[in-house]
């Protein structure tokens, strides 16, 4: 495994958030971290990205790594156009002309070509999320982190967004870590799903999805078994958690 | 694709209607002020104490076209503009540096406190010993406006959304680009509020300073000469010129900001 977290502990004051979390990420794969709301998923992602320091434990293989991050809220600069927002993130990575040449096809692929000169206040919620994904993809990172990137939109937009994401990822495979509380979303995207317990979070299950993506349409019979198992894990732990 | 965008013509119509309401309310407030003035002047009954508005207007109409007045107006305009521009530029640079550097900010804090606490009158009397009288009001206005600009700019630079700063740090956006594209635009509303306050203050301090040090050509000098001659309507006509100058420059400043905003600056 290329990247590893070992025995990570993290507390905020008296609140223990991460409790001995260890995980390994395979290069070029999509790992989805699934867990109930408020269990510490974002904290785990921030520890991965180096935005938050763990109280103890080890990060291995992350040295010098560049991260892209699609945040839960899109974090766009309100005074810049969609195109300029994406270009802003690339300012330290390449020249402006190169950045724009990289961004424009991604905006097109994400269905934002006509909206590229609009400011965030002129974009719908789904468009902002798409722009956040475009920005993350455009940045030449080795690891892409997604924090509930598909949850703040309606079902149709969510499906469109996930398809845009998979399309972009297929063209340029990077190591992806996505956190979500949505079982169906996890099943749709992941090569591997790690299930977190209630807070303080521990990994209680690691599930490799052995299906091709074309076989796992939303609600398809082939994914039912895995879906039932994941719901049992999430709900079982939620109902009977003694952590 | 879901659309949550507001209807543009509706939003524009709403903004136009709000602007018209503001104008009507502002004009009504002015009319009330003049009526109250007229009423009090009627009660007082002595022009030397409080002349009625029509008398001040008549005085202004005969004073404003004269060469003496126009020369004084121009000189005061130059002093106020110079004080404002120097405060704006100096205050912005110092404010940005203080906003970005806690050490510089800590070093600057006592100096700003001293400048703020110093009475402008005492300052003018001392500065009169150092500089020619025409420059004293400018210097006093700079010292009054500079802390306002610094404080506003510091507040603006610190007001940048920490989540946006975290995003920029994660994507390793260079500091210069972060300053240009993130911190400065975030600081703009604070900066503009500070600039507007400084603009108004610079006229007040410059004219006040002129009344004290009496430069050769100045609105303040004209005002003081009229006072010595007990020409109260003329004192108020000179004062009205200062008010008009302040209002006009604030309006022009507002237009410049709108134009800059339209061009994405």
Give the largest Cα separation in chain A, rounded. Answer: 55
- Mean pLDDT for A132-158 is 87
Q: In what order do the strands lie in the sheet with A3-12?
A: A15-25, A3-12, A56-60
Say whether pLDDT at A222 is over 90: no
**Residue that wins the pLDDT comparison between A93 and A220:** A93
A143-147 and A67-70 strand pairing: parallel
Kindly state whether residues A87 and A109 are assigned to the same domain: yes
Global pTM reads 0.77
Contact B182 A77 (CB under 8 A): yes
Q: Do A49 and B167 touch (CB under 8 A)?
A: no
Residues of B in contact with A77 (CB under 8 A): 164, 181-182, 185
Q: What DSSP line would sit under B209-260, residue for residue?
A: HHHHH--SS-HHHHHHHHHHTT-HHHHHHHHHHHHHHHHHHHHHHHHHHHHH
Span A190-210, mean pLDDT?
87
Among A87, A122, A141, residue at a domain's last position: A141
pLDDT at A242: 41
DSSP structural state of residue B5: P
Does an H or E element contain A84, and which?
Answer: helix A82-89
User: Do A118 and A91 fall into the same domain?
Assistant: yes
Within a domain: residue A243? yes
Does residue A2 sit in the same domain as residue A122? Answer: no
In this model, does residue A243 exceed pLDDT 50? no
- Domain endpoint, select from A91, A123, A141: A141
A78-124 tens-digit pLDDT: 999 999 999 999 999 999 999 999 999 889 888 889 999 999 999 99
Q: What is the pLDDT of residue A217?
A: 66
Choose between A171 and A222: higher pLDDT.
A171
A151 in Cβ contact with A169 (< 8 Å)? no
Query: Cα(B134)–Cα(B85) distance, rounded to whole angstroms?
Result: 17
Q: Is residue A230 part of a domain?
A: yes
Q: What percent of chain B has pLDDT over 70?
A: 94
Give the one of B1, B170, B182 whose C-beta lies nearest to A126's C-beta: B1
Q: Report chain A residues whose CB lies below 8 A from the CB of B182.
A: 77, 88
CATH class belonging to B48-262: mainly alpha
DSSP state of B171: T
**Tell me, what CATH number does A3's domain have?**
3.40.50.300
Q: Is residue A136 domain-shared with residue A187, that is, in the same domain?
A: no
Lowest mean pLDDT among A66-70, A197-201, B238-242: A197-201
d(CA B41, CA A51): 68
Both A51 and A74 in one domain: the answer is no
Q: Sketch the domain layout of chain B as residue ranges.
A: 7-45, 48-262
> Which residues of chain A does B159 touch, with a Cβ-Cβ cutoff of 8 Å?
none
**Residue A216 three-state SS:** coil
The side-by-side arrangement of strands in the sheet containing A30-34 is: A67-70, A143-147, A175-180, A30-34, A192-196, A203-208
Using pLDDT thresholds of 50, 70 and 90, give the confidence band for residue B20: confident
Number of H helices, E strands in chain A: 7, 9
Is the residue at A168 inside a domain?
no
Asked if residue A238 has pLDDT above 80, the reply is no
| 3-state per-residue secondary structure call for B114-130 | HHHHCCHHHHHHHHHHH
Asked if residue A25 is part of any domain, the answer here is: yes
Element of type H or E holding A68: strand A67-70
Which are the contacts of A158, defined by CB distance < 8 A and separation ≥ 6?
A: A150, A151, A185
Q: Which of A96, A163, A166, A173 is nearest to A141 (CA)?
A: A173
Three-state SS at A14 = coil
In this prediction the ipTM stands at 0.85
Q: Is B160 an interface residue toward A (CB < 8 Å)?
A: no
- Contact residues on chain B for A126, CB-CB shorter than 8 A: 1-2
Percent of chain A with pLDDT over 70: 93
Is cis: bond before A200, omega within 30 of 0? yes
d(CA B85, CA B89): 6
Instruction: State the average pLDDT for chain B.
Output: 89
Average pLDDT over residues B133-145: 90
Statement: residue A6 has pLDDT above 80: yes
- Of the two residues A236 and A97, the one the predictor is more confident about is A97
pLDDT in tens, A19-45: 999 999 999 999 999 988 888 889 999
Clarify whether residues A60 and A178 are in a common domain. Answer: yes
Looking at the domain assignment, is residue A156 inside a domain? Answer: no
Q: Is B7 on the interface with A (CB under 8 A)?
A: no
- Spell out the residues 6+ positions from residue A85 whose beta carbon is closer than 8 angstroms to its own: A76, A77, A120, A131, A135
A41 with A85, same domain: the answer is no
**Span B189-198, pLDDT tens digits:** 899 999 999 9
In a domain, A225, yes or no: yes
Tell me if B2 and A93 make a contact (CB, 8 A cut-off).
no
Indicate the residue among A141, A164, A184 that finishes a domain.
A141
Question: By mean pLDDT, which of A48-52, A72-76, A104-108, A207-211 is the weakest?
Answer: A207-211
Nearest CA in chain B to A139: B171
- Cα A33 from chain centroid? 9
Same domain, A54 and A77: no
How many interchain CB pairs under 8 A, A with B?
Answer: 65
Residue A6 lies in domain:
1-65+143-149+174-243
Scan for tokens 């500091």, then name that residue: B175
Q: Is A30 part of any domain? A: yes
The tally of domains found in chain A comes to: 2
Q: Which of A157, A164, A166 lies closest to A191 in space, CA to CA?
A: A166
Residue A160 lies in a domain: no
């Amino acid at each position: 495994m290329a990247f590893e977290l070992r025995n990570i502990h993290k507390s905020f004051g008296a609140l223990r958030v991460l409790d001995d979390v260890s995980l390994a990420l395979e290069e070029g794969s999509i790992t989805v971290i699934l867990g109930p709301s408020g269990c510490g998923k974002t904290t785990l992602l921030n520890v991965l990205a180096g935005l938050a320091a763990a109280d103890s434990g080890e990060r291995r293989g992350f040295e010098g790594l560049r991260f892209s991050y699609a945040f839960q809220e899109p974090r766009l600069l309100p005074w810049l156009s969609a195109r300029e927002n994406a270009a802003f993130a690339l300012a330290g990575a390449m020249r402006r002309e190169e950045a724009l040449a990289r961004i424009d096809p991604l905006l097109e692929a994400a269905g934002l070509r006509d909206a590229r000169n609009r400011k965030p206040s002129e974009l719908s919620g789904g468009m902002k999320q798409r722009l956040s994904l475009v920005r993350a993809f455009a940045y030449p990172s080795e690891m892409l982190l997604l924090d509930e990137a598909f949850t703040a939109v309606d079902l149709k937009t969510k499906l469109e967004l996930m398809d845009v994401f998979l399309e972009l990822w297929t063209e340029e495979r990077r190591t992806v870590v996505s956190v979500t509380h949505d079982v169906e979303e996890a099943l749709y995207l992941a090569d591997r799903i790690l299930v977190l317990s209630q807070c303080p979070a521990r990994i209680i299950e690691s599930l490799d999805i052995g299906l091709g993506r074309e076989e796992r349409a939303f609600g398809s019979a082939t994914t039912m078994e895995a879906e039932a198992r994941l719901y049992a894990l999430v709900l079982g732990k939620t109902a009977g958690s003694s952590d | 694709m879901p659309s949550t965008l507001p209807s543009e013509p509706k939003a524009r119509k709403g903004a136009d209607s709000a602007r018209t309401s503001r104008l009507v309310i502002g004009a009504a407030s002015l009319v009330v002020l003049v009526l109250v003035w007229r009423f009090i002047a009627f009660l007082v009954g002595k022009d030397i104490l409080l002349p009625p508005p029509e008398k001040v207007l008549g005085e202004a109409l005969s004073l404003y076209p004269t060469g003496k007045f126009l020369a004084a107006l121009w000189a005061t305009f130059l002093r106020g503009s110079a004080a404002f521009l120097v405060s704006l530029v100096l205050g912005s640079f110092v404010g940005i540096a203080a906003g970005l550097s806690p050490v510089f900010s800590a070093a600057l804090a006592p100096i700003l406190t001293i400048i703020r606490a110093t009475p402008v009158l005492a300052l003018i009397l001392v500065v009169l010993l150092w500089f020619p009288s025409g420059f004293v009001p400018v210097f006093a206005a700079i010292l009054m406006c500079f802390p306002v600009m610094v404080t506003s700019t510091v507040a603006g630079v610190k007001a940048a959304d920490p989540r946006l700063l975290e995003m920029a740090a994660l994507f390793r956006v260079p500091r210069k680009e972060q300053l240009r594209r993130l911190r400065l635009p975030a600081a703009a509303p604070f900066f503009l509020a500070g600039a507007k306050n400084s603009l108004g203050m610079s006229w007040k301090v410059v004219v006040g300073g002129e009344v004290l040090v009496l430069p050769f050509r100045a609105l303040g000098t004209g005002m003081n000469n009229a006072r010595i001659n007990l020409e109260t309507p003329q004192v108020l006509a000179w004062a009205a010129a200062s008010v008009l100058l302040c209002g006009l420059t604030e309006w022009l400043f507002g237009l410049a900001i709108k134009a800059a905003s339209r061009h994405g600056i």
